[in-house]
Structure 1
Amino acid sequence: MTGIIPEEKINEIRGSIDIVDVIGEYVHLKKQGRNYFGLCPFHGENTPSFSVSSDKQIFHCFGCGAGGNVFTFIMDIDGIGFQEAVIKLAQKANIELSIDPKIDQRSEGNHTSDHQKMLEAHALLQKFYHHLLVNTKEGQEAFEYLIQRGFTRESMEKFQIGYALPSWDFTVKLFQKRGFPLPLMEKAGLIIKKESDDTYFDRFRNRIMFPIMNSKGQTIAFSGRVLDKEEQPKYLNSPETELFNKSSVLYNLHQARSFIKKQQQAILFEGFADCISADRASIYNGIATMGTALTEQHVQQIRRLTDNIIICYDSDSAGTEAAYKAGQMLVEHHFNIRIARMPDGLDPDDYIQKNSAEKFRQDVIGASMTFMAFKMQYHRIGKKLQNEGEKLKYIEIIINEISKLENAVERDHYLRQLAEEFSISMDALKQQQLQAFYANKKKNSFMGQSTNHKVLVKQEKKILPAHQTAERRLLSHMLRDVEIAYKVRDLLANHTFNIDEHQAILTYLLGFYEEGNEPDTSSFLLYLPDQQLRRVVADIEMMPLNSEVSNQEIEDYIIQVLKHQKMLKINEKVKEQKKAELENDLQKALSIANEIIQLRKSL
């Protein structure tokens, strides 16, 4: 399973890194007791059921069943092979490997080769565009324009901003010279094929180029801004490709990740230009969607880092609507939301130019309001509150929103605001708010019946039969102690576990020990060839269990295992007895009845 990477190197890597640190880069973890918990990155959930054990160096999700060690986590989360995961973790641990990092890419065929060529082409263009902007006369006009807009050379370097020449075939010739297939470059969205013939031309011409990078920091697309105000569109983006999917890309996530985790807050902007402007104002935890509404994929990526978000969109009608929809989605996923409002219809870049970076930090981001306060403003839009009917409708909407707040102090705070503004008694508002609260509760209870059914079924399945619990506890002790493993084998004699997966784990575990390995669950998980078995082991290892176990306890578990087998045999005999009686074979029925009596006595 380990290929050409020596076993001792794999053990060295595993011993040099902490699974909590590695998973903590993808999942926002909080310590509870001995383990760390967070929201599972492999399925959508609102309540943390993803557990990581620093002691055992394993992870397990009690919701979807995912489980394994640090290598299998990287394989699953990044969608890569074992060797590539080992290489990635070796780099993290500063351990040298005498292996070609591209070995997996060669073995995975043309698809991976094409994918890699697309990435290499984007990286090549990024370097050329950046060089043209900062080092050539051709890029001087674009460079000076950016300086006038408040960009520094440092920010141009940080975001690798560049410039595309006004040429129709600069990129095409560059790719031809470097040996990149033009049809593949068209597929990558970097050049365009003419409909009239088989020739190609550059997609981006005479534009300031902003590279768009994925969460790993690899360039996967570009956005080009015009220099000539008469030219349209203002921004030209790469089309969606195999590399670039707008619904799953968050701009600047690769650079903002550590700041988001450290500050436990992300600032969500409407576009990448706002994100760059905010960075110039020393706001380093900013991220942005790529010209699309917030999606479930975006939300899951943010959830791995923090539960706290400030939404800073433009204050025009489109930006306000987008902020409201994004806020609603994030609240449904139990985020703590604040809204930063831009004054006078300005975007962050305009505001910083007009005022200052410090005022932007203090008066916009620092003065962000709660989502409830924002909703009270949002629902005013288009309403004439001096009109009695519209005023009552507005109050009804806001009371309904207040009733959704979990915190009683918050509810009281906003009800008092309504009471003061519209001269309504608190008693009347509280009474209506309670009515709205119970109406929402009844509605949510009804709506949740179908979705909660699966959860209830899952919870019911956790109440396991005695024999299954006994087998799991035996395996747990066997994973920790070689002597117990052999003792269980001897006590079972020629019998097996009742659950096929448990028996398979037992067989592999005995083989693992017979090869001279010491108890080490993280190492054993690599030894197992089957993902489902790894999940079961991770689940078993997360069970709360006393470290000390007596011989009597082990024997009691064995009795439960064998007892179930006898019960199954009794059930079979009962069926045989009934069949014999139906066939009027009374002698056979009597003989089977005696067997059943003896079996029941042995219980």
Structure 2
Amino acid sequence: MVGIIPEDKINEIRQSIDIVDIIGEYVHLKKQGRNYFGLCPFHGENTPSFSVSTDKQIYHCFGCGAGGNVISFLMDIDGLSFQEAVMKLAEKGKVHLELEKGLNDHTSKTKDTSEEKQMKEAYELLQKFYHHLLVNTTEGQHALEYLLGRGFSKDSIEKFQIGYSLPSWDFTVKWLNKRGFQLPLLEKAGLIIKRESDESYFDRFRNRIMFPIQNSKGETIAFAGRAIEKEDQPKYLNSPETILFNKSNILYNYYRAKGFIKKQQQAILFEGFADVISADTAEIFNGIATMGTSLTEQHVQLIRRMTDSVTICYDSDFAGIEAAYRAGKMLSEQNCNIRIARMPEGLDPDDYIKKYGAEKFRQDVIGASLTFMSFKMEYFRLGKNLQNEGEKLQYIEKIIEEITNLDKAVERDHYLRQLADEFSISLDALKQQQKQMFYANKKNRHHQKEVKTKRFYTEQKNRLFPAHHTAERRLLAHMLQDADVAFKIKELLNGIILYYDEHQAILTYLLGFYEEGNEPNTSKFLLILPDEKLRGIVTELEMMPLNSEVTDREIEDYVYQVLKHQKMLKIKEKENLQKKAEQENDREKALSLAVEILQLRKSL
């Protein structure tokens, strides 16, 4: 038994799914050789160092050291307990799981604190109640008519669980307090506000259309409330930032859209949730939006886990164009392929779909989106008088600079020809200037590359392991692959403890694993390791390139290095004692130690 789920049932569940499929729901993976690589979901990075092995059913990040099997991945990424992760996998693998008594106890250990859990429960209850008020009560009738009049369909209202908050000042306060929620916790969750005058509480959201905001697991963690009456300001009121909600790393609709983004290998980035909901009615299901904030590095990392192709569809006003440029620049710097969908002036995506319909939006806006370079050619002329010779030359030089940064020669040639045609300039002259810029940039890039390379080799040099450390790692790596080799190494070590505590712990667990009759299976072995650091070391060892068959000589060499290090430590210890004996004029002891040191050196 592992926990309260039978071990054979856990093995059946693991065998019913492929770790690549499960991790692929969270990370955009690309096959390279036998393994799959992507951006690590556990730390921010620009170059993929997160490796998944379908053969061994494990993952390892060479950047942060995270590693494990499919169960530990779900536990870490979704904050699930062991039992919850196994249940989720059983459902995906269509394995029937008889839940034993106690499995759903509240004592199950999750990464949520009890405070966070209560906050989520409060949000979930309130979301359902707001939705019920909107669609089933006379109190919410005017709000429902308002939404339908604005072009929202009943299907959208149901799908996105849109609701309505009553105009009462303290309904939420009393309603949630009656259900056992403490008022200070509700204030901390951003649902109610404390008056300074008499320290009483009142509702944050009153007489508003309520849009639930979910995290990447689909849990409601905040609300966006839209005013119905003109006198109610601000027009949009979001939940404040809490331990659950940080708008810098939340994308609206990410939970629903991520499957479509991965399948289509494209994300559509909008400015607001109304645009996402309208796009959904136009059968654009891969739409996401920032929560009233500019795109952040955290947002970019979230998107890049799913895809490296993004179409930005912002408003057509000056602020929208500026925001689209900034977002495009951030994404392109992270090697994303960017397109910009242009809106007719005065319309946002929501307005456009309501005015012209879904088909026209898909074809004439999303389908006709510009490459990022084409967009920049329009963007950099904003506010410039190109009839003025000085401003025209500045513009041309800026565009040549942007063209120079393009990777493909065909693209560079294409945009230089556009520039030559528009301004009646010699293509040869443009190419000559572009070439000068290219070589100047190349020289600068070469210098930067040299600096990076030097830094890389310094880091690698610092990371080089001493011979005994490498030997211990190699021994463990071979032990993970073959039980007979493991017992042979145990015999050769003859009771010698490995120098590194983590290595000795892995060796002890592994020998116990084999002694119970288990065959080599790293994914299964990881289940018995209690420590995250040990799991990271094991997965790293499993990703090491090894010969399929190890010779006795190779094993003996590694064991020799381990034993040699142990003896070198003893020699150093006795040399210190000898030095101390000489300082104390204890010649007999110093001589005895010298003999011991000599014997140890001979044994090497």
Common fold, TM-score beyond 0.5? yes
- Give the deviation of 1:141 after TM superposition: 2.3
Q: Give matches, 1:424-439, under 5 Å.
A: 424-439=425-440
Moved more, 413-422 or 70-79: 70-79
Q: Which moved more, 1:513-522 or 1:248-257?
A: 513-522
| 1:31 paired residue number | 31
Query: Is 1:90–1:96's contact at 8 Å kept on the other side of the alignment?
Result: no
1:211 aligns to what?
A: 212
Describe the superposition over 1:79-131 as per-residue Cα deviations: whole angstroms up to 9, x where unpaired.
Answer: 4444443444344445343255664667689x823222221221122112212
- The aligned counterpart of 2:354 is 353
In structure 1, the partner of 2:300 is 299
1:551 partner amino acid = D
Note if contact 1:84-1:104 (Cα within 8 Å) is conserved in structure 2: no
Alignment partner, residue 13 of structure 2: 13
> CA offsets, 1:120-175, max 9 Å, x none?
22112211221222222222222222223222211111011112222223323322
Q: Match of 2:339?
A: 338
2:251 partner amino acid: L
Deviates more, 1:46-55 or 1:229-238: 229-238
Deviation for aligned residue 1:262: 0.5
Deviations 1:410-447 (A, max 9, x none): 11111121122222223322232233233334445556
Where does residue 367 of structure 2 map in the other structure? Answer: 366
Separation of aligned partners in 1, 2:37 and 2:340: 28
Distance 1:177 1:533 in 2: 46
Question: Which deviations, in whole Å up to 9, do the C-alpha atoms of 1:251-273 show, x marking residues without a partner?
Answer: 01111111011101100101111
Name 1:43's counterpart in structure 2. Answer: 43
Q: Does 1:375 align with 2:376?
A: yes
Q: Deviation digits for residues 58-99 of structure 1, max 9, x if unmatched?
A: 111122221111222223223444444344434444534325
Unaligned runs of 5+ in 1: none
SS in 2 for 1:246: coil
Range moving further from structure 2, 266-275 or 174-183: 174-183
State the superposition RMSD in angstroms: 3.1
C-alpha distance in structure 2 between counterparts of 1:286 and 1:589, whole Å: 79
Check the 8 A contact 2:81/2:108 in 1, yes or no: no
**SS of equivalent residue, structure 1 residue 558:** helix
Matching of residues 167-566 of structure 1 within 5 Å = 167-444=168-445, 455-460=456-461, 464-565=465-566
Cα separation, partners in 2 of 1:347 and 1:105, compared to 1, 3 Å: farther
Matched position secondary structure for 1:209: strand
Residue range with higher mean Cα deviation, 230-239 or 454-463: 454-463
- Is contact 2:480-2:510 (8 Å) kept? yes
Superposed CA deviations along residues 360-381 of structure 1, whole A, max 9, x for unmatched, are 0001001111111111111111
Alignment correspondent of 1:60: 60
Which secondary structure does the structure 1 equivalent of 2:306 belong to? coil
Matched AA of 1:33: G
What is the identity percentage for the equivalent residue pairs of Structure 1 and Structure 2?
72
Compute the displacement of 1:564 (Å). 4.9
Distance 1:217 1:44 in 2: 22
**In the alignment, is the contact (CA less than 8 A) between 1:106 and 1:113 conserved in 2?**
no
Encode CA deviations 1:532-585: one digit per residue, 9 max, x unaligned: 222111111011223223333333433444455566667788999999999999
- Report SS of the residue matched to 2:345: helix
Residues 107 and 71 of structure 1: is their aligned pair in 2 closer, same or farther, counting only changes over 3 Å? closer
Change over 3 Å in CA distance of 1:114–1:423 after alignment to 2: same
Superposition TM-score, scaled by structure 1 size: 0.90
Deviations 1:373-426 (A, max 9, x none): 111111111111111111111112111111211111111111121122222223
Please name the residue that 1:69 is paired with. 69
Q: Kindly provide the CA deviation profile for residues 213-252 of structure 1, in whole angstroms up to 9, marking residues without a partner as x.
A: 1111111111122222343222122222222111111101
- The one-letter code of the counterpart of 1:552 is R
Q: Tell me which residue corresponds to 1:140.
A: 141
Deviation at residue 9 of structure 1 after TM alignment:
4.0
Q: Which moved more, 1:81-90 or 1:356-365?
A: 81-90
Aligned partner of 2:99 in structure 1 is: 97
CA distance in 1, matches of 2:549, 2:262: 38
TM-aligned CA deviation for residue 468 of structure 1? 3.7
Tell me: CA distance 1:548–1:387, structure 2 relative to 1, closer, same or farther (3 Å): same
Deviations 1:259-300 (A, max 9, x none): 011101100101111111110111000000000011121111
Which residue of structure 2 aligns with residue 165 of structure 1?
166
- Count of residue correspondences: 602
Q: With structure 2 as the length reference, what TM-score do the two structures score?
A: 0.90
- Tell me how far 1:325 sits from its aligned partner: 0.9
Q: Greater shift after overlay, 585-594 or 232-241?
A: 585-594
Q: 1:567 to 1:437 in 2, by over 3 A?
A: farther
Q: 1:198 to 1:488 in 2, by over 3 A?
A: same
Task: Report how far residue 599 of structure 1 moved.
Answer: 6.7
Distance 1:199 1:518 in 2: 64
Is the 1:2–1:83 Cα contact (8 Å) retained in structure 2?
A: no
Deviates more, 1:453-462 or 1:135-144: 453-462
Structure 2: distance between partners of 1:584 and 1:113: 66
Shift of 1:53: 1.0
Kindly state the Cα deviation for residue 463 of structure 1 after the two structures are TM-superposed. 5.0
1:364 counterpart SS class: helix
2:349 is matched by which residue type in structure 1?
P
Partner Cα distance (2:442, 2:570) in 1: 50
CA distance in 2, matches of 1:430, 1:589: 81
Deviation at 1:597, TM superposition (A): 8.2
Query: Structure 1 465/7 Cα, relative in aligned 2: closer, same or farther at 3 Å?
Result: same
1:403 partner amino acid: T
Q: 1:268 to 1:9 in 2, by over 3 A?
A: same
Would the aligned equivalents of 1:194 and 1:201 in 2 still touch at CA under 8 Å?
yes
The Cα of 1:517 is off from its aligned counterpart by 2.8
- Other structure's SS at 1:345 match: coil
Contact between 2:312 and 2:339, CA under 8 Å: does it hold in 1?
Answer: yes
